[in-house]
Homo-oligomer: A and B are copies of this chain.
Amino acid sequence: MAKDKKLVEAITSMEDDFAQWYTDVVKKADLMDYTSVKGCMVLKPAGYALWENIQKEADARFKATGVENVYLPMFIPESLLQKEKDHVEGFAPEVAWVTHGGLEPLQERLCVRPTSETLFCDFYAKEIQSYRDLPKVYNQWCSVVRWEKETRPFLRSREFLWQEGHTAHATAEEAEERTELMLNLYADFCEEVLAIPVIRGRKTEKEKFAGAEATYTIEALMHDGKALQSGTSHNFGDGFAKAFNIQYTDKDNKLQYVHQTSWGISTRLIGGIIMVHGDNSGLVLPPRIAPVQVMIIPIAQHKEGVLETAAKLKEALADFRVKVDDSEKSPGWKFSEAEMRGIPVRIEIGPKDIEANQAVIVRRDTREKQIVSLDELKAQVANTLETMQKDMLERARAHRDKHTYIAKNYEEFKETVAHKPGFVKAMWCGDQACEDKIKEETTATARCMPFEQEKISDVCVCCGKPAKAMVYWGKAY
């Protein structure tokens, strides 16, 4: 490995400086680049291909639950943004304003959507008249803008790509069902496709979405012990419906307000993939999401038959996303590049291998090498990809569990947050004063009240009053 490492520019070791390691990886794995506009990035082919695969997998899952895709404008008139009080308070401080169209000043300024609740409400108010028009289960894939002061690639940028689902239902029960359905869909998607284990739970009042009655969240633990909010699903009740007057006539010919939800995941998930699976040689991509699953690297490719055999192997492996690196670089360099880019499996094939009717398979995550007969290559690659996918989830789960602590009193809590990066499970009275105090004194925030509650003690870890819920606490991105 030492020799390989010299071949590509070394990246900072994550033990030395996790933040720098992250920045190095996103750059050197060629996922993104910075631009002249602060906080706005270029998603390069390797980064965008990850997003395309996320879109494809998630979109199919959405559609299987009846979601239909639409596209709404990127501009929101200021008066529309202001219709729901909590919502505008939450977003107005961080939106970008368009004030001129062409050479003329606009009569009313427009914000570039930070999220599209208000637009969907405006649309639904016209679309929905009768119970026959319900439910509406719409989603859009688009970019949104939030004028953040501090930005980091994928984790927090001024413009980012996401999907936002917005639904309207006849009853509160149906809206609640959809909110939970999508949260669980996100969680399953993260675990099955991205190999990222998540805690499913509910946000506290303090942490919930601006305008929501309830926000559900999936929280993942990164390699450095910090939490990443990885997807959220909101139940709005009829709050937006009342602000925007979205009413329908029910079967008894009575006017009723609709009940609404919204839910989203974003390119932030790419940050999660990096920080859950990456190592000191770069990215490690779960096979199911990897744009290139198998890289065939010819050894001594100038020798007769090597490139031809590599091409034949590529054809034999056409069921997978496979490439041959027949560039003029050295094999060692190519190994390191494939590692840096996180390609799950590399296959080495040279003249001696061809003679022996075999190839070498190397797994990216464990670096385990296997000599495989060419006749069994396809089966073995399939097997390796599948095993790697499972192992990555299990490894991430083990890491998370190992870094999940319990605190029974405030001393323990502070001690743990200060010295043991990870989740802390502790009881809470439900009072925001305690949440505020904890945040101020430890910088940890309430990540969520998990659906799977445990009773750690009877009293709040902070104030000692009777506890209402067990909470996952942690420092977060």
Contacts and interface: CB of A to CB of B under 8 A. Distances in A.
A248 B95 CA distance: 39
Contact of A159 (B75, B99, B102, B161): B75
Given A99-B99, A112-B98, A73 B123 contact: no
B98 A102 contact: no
Interface string A86-107: 0000000111111111110000
Contacts of A52: 69
Contact of A73 (B41, B48, B69, B71): B41
Contacts of A35: 72-73, 119, 122-123
A45 B62 CA distance: 14
Contacts of A122: 35-36
Interface in A132-180: 138, 142-143, 145, 147, 158-159, 161
Interface string A20-54: 00000000000001011100111111001101100
A407 interface: no
B126 A75 contact: no
A44 B400 CA distance: 42
A36 B77 contact: yes
A36 B119 CA distance: 9
Nearest to A95: B102
A315 interface: no
B42 A73 contact: yes
Contacts of A123: 33, 35, 42
A394 B143 CA distance: 40
Interface in A70-86: 70-77, 80
Nearest to A118: B36
Interface residues of A, number: 51
Nearest to A75: B37
A123 B127 CA distance: 42
Contacts of A40: 73-75
A386 interface: no
A122 to B, nearest CB: 6
A250 interface: no
B73 A44 contact: no
A269 B138 CA distance: 23
Nearest to A76: B37
A214 B35 CA distance: 28
Interface in A108-134: 110, 112, 119, 122-123, 126-127
Interface in A55-78: 68-77
Contacts of A69: 45, 48-49, 52
Q: Give 4 nearest A-B pairs by CB, closest first.
A: A40-B73, A101-B147, A45-B68, A43-B71
